[in-house]
């Protein structure tokens, strides 16, 4: 669908809802709500506010935008904004749509789109596109679509579809 993403380095599972994403390198769990996602290999906690997110394992910074996210590499909590994402403890992958952002555990970059999020314990970089987020601990590449996000710890590739996101810890491929 427009905002569907299929993500994960090893075990991948299809997503069925319009904006649902199922993500996580090892243990994955299906998402069932239209935009809700619950993701993460180890300790995860659901978030219940519309767009609020709590983020960052060590150095944390408050977020004030409509769809704030709180995320961290180890203990993470899911997000349930319009396009909520819950992200894994180690290699994390971002998600996608207008309000979604997924942020890495180490080098993180802030977002300033409609639902801006500035998050990350160590190195952060602002993002300025409407819905774009570029995030990931190591090598990152810009995203080109309105709401695309490209995220991943190592090798990342740009995403080109309107709401598609390409995500994964190692080699990732675009989603269509």
Model pLDDT, residue 99 = 43
> What is the DSSP code string of 101-157?
----SSB---B-STT-B---SSB-----SSS-EEE-SS------SSS-EEE-SS---
Model pLDDT, residue 86 = 52
Are 15 and 28 contacting, i.e. CB atoms less than 8 angstroms apart?
Answer: no
pLDDT digits (tens, 9 = 90+) for 77-90: 444 433 444 555 44
Model pLDDT, residue 100 = 44
Task: Report residue 45: phi and psi, to 5°.
Answer: -135, 135
Which residues of the chain are under the pLDDT cut of 50?
1-2, 9-20, 25-37, 40-53, 56-69, 73-85, 89-101, 105-134, 137-150, 153-165, 170-176
């Amino acid at each position: 669908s427009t905002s569907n993403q299929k993500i994960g380095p090893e075990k991948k599972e299809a997503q069925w809802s319009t904006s649902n994403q199922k993500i996580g390198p090892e243990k994955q769990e299906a998402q069932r709500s239209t935009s809700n996602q619950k993701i993460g290999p180890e300790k995860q906690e659901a978030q219940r506010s519309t767009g609020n997110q709590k983020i960052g394992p060590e150095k944390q910074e408050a977020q004030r935008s409509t769809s704030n996210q709180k995320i961290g590499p180890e203990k993470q909590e899911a997000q349930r904004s319009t396009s909520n994402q819950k992200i894994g403890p180690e290699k994390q992958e971002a998600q996608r749509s207008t309000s979604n952002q997924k942020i890495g555990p180490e080098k993180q970059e802030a977002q300033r789109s409609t639902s801006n999020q500035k998050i990350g314990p160590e190195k952060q970089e602002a993002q300025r596109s409407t819905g774009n987020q570029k995030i990931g601990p190591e090598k990152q590449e810009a995203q080109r679509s309105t709401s695309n996000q490209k995220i991943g710890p190592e090798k990342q590739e740009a995403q080109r579809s309107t709401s598609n996101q390409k995500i994964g810890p190692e080699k990732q491929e675009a989603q269509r």
